Amino acid sequence: MAMTSRTGISVDRLDAAARRGATPIDVVDTLPPTRRKRASRVLLARHSPWILTTLSVLAGVVVWAIASRTLDSPLFPSPLRIAQALVESIGNKTLLVDIAVSVRRIAIGFVLGCVVGVPLGLAMGLFPLVRAFCDPVVQFLRFVPPIAWLIPAIMWFGIGETSKIAIIFYMTVFLVLLNTMTGVAAIPRNQLRSAENYGVSGWQLFAWIVFPATLSYSVAGARIAMGNSFAAVVGAELIAANAGLGYRIVDSGQWMAMDQMFSAMLVLGLLGIAADRLARVLATRFLWHYVHASDHAD
């Protein structure tokens, strides 16, 4: 009996096609129309990460190219022009310096934010007194966005590194803290009771139960914070800075160097995706049983 794949196409047939150098999609085309429709949906779903990503990127570039061609304005440089500016700015190192400056600010603010946010969130989740004391301030401050603190931060800390790091730190602390606190509340009562049953001490409960049980929540908060960090750092650099990707956008604008401006924005987007992917890969690689701990409990 021939084995069939989920598409309804026999595996032998796919193998034969592969030997001929044909792709599964070519095989789909040989099927009768009714089966073709279903099979191509399944194939698209399976290979969609790459097919659809490529299509999506291409579509974006094409739309931009058409807009740039139609408008024919120096304010809308073509994709090719932007790519050239990108290569140039990599060549003369300005872009690499900007990236290094912005990434450094994000990294320091982000790490400090996590280091403060996780323990504070755990403490607020565990101790009603700490929560009662901190919660009003936290609830108030979470609605004062980082951008609102930009001007006071620059006036207090100057236009150097400190003001930018402070903004990233501020934003990260709240996201991580609130998520961690939610994580503590979500620990199954039976986990705490069984630990109590085995006679855990205070610090054992903290280190062996509460911290690992909430880790997935803390990591989720950190990932959101990482994404927002890019927005926050650009905001800070737009207002006052002498290097960084946000500064590059302002500076290019002043010189009407639109190609350079868009290349900086392109890099921002790519860096953001890279950081998020890295966080996800690290989380799945090293923390998967923590990250999925909450999904597992059913």
Partner 1 sequence: MPIEPAPVSGQIADPGSIAVRRVSFAFGSGRPPVLDDVTFDVASGEFFVLLGPSGCGKSTVLNVIAGFEHPAQGTVLAGGRPVEAAARDRVVIFQDSDSLYGWLTVVDNVAFPLRVQGVATRERNERALAVLRVVGLKGHERKYPGELSGGMKQRTQLARALVLDAPILLMDEPFAALDAQTRSILQDELVQLSVTMRRTVLFITHDIGEAILLGDRVGIMRAGPGSSIKETIVVDLPRPRRRGSAEFGALYERIHRSISEEVQQALRREDSLLS
Q: Which is nearer to partner 1, 90 or 192 (CB)?
A: 192
Q: Which is nearer to partner 1, 118 or 245 (CB)?
A: 118
Q: Which is nearer to partner 1, 212 or 227 (CB)?
A: 212
Q: Shortest approach of partner 1 to residue 181 CB, angstroms?
A: 19
Q: Shortest approach of partner 1 to residue 277 CB, angstroms?
A: 23
Q: Which is nearer to partner 1, 165 or 187 (CB)?
A: 187
Q: Shortest approach of partner 1 to residue 225 CB, angstroms?
A: 22
Q: Which is nearer to partner 1, 285 or 296 (CB)?
A: 296
Positions that interact with partner 1 (CB under 8 A): 188, 190-191, 193-200, 204, 208-209, 212-213, 215, 289-290, 292-298
Q: Shortest approach of partner 1 to residue 119 CB, angstroms?
A: 19
Q: Shortest approach of partner 1 to residue 234 CB, angstroms?
A: 36
Secondary structure of the chain in HEC code, one letter for each residue: CCCECCCCCEHHHHHHHHHCCCCHHHHHHCCCHHHHHHHHHHHHHHHHHHHHHHHHHHHHHHHHHHHHHHHCCCCCCCHHHHHHHHHHHHHCCHHHHHHHHHHHHHHHHHHHHHHHHHHHHHHHHHCHHHHHHHHHHHHHHCCCCHHHHHHHHHHHHCCCHHHHHHHHHHHHHHHHHHHHHHHHHCCCHHHHHHHHHCCCCHHHHHHHHHHHHHHHHHHHHHHHHHHHHHHHHHHHHHHCCCCCHHHHHHHHHHCCCHHHHHHHHHHHHHHHHHHHHHHHHHHHHHHHHHHCHHHHCC
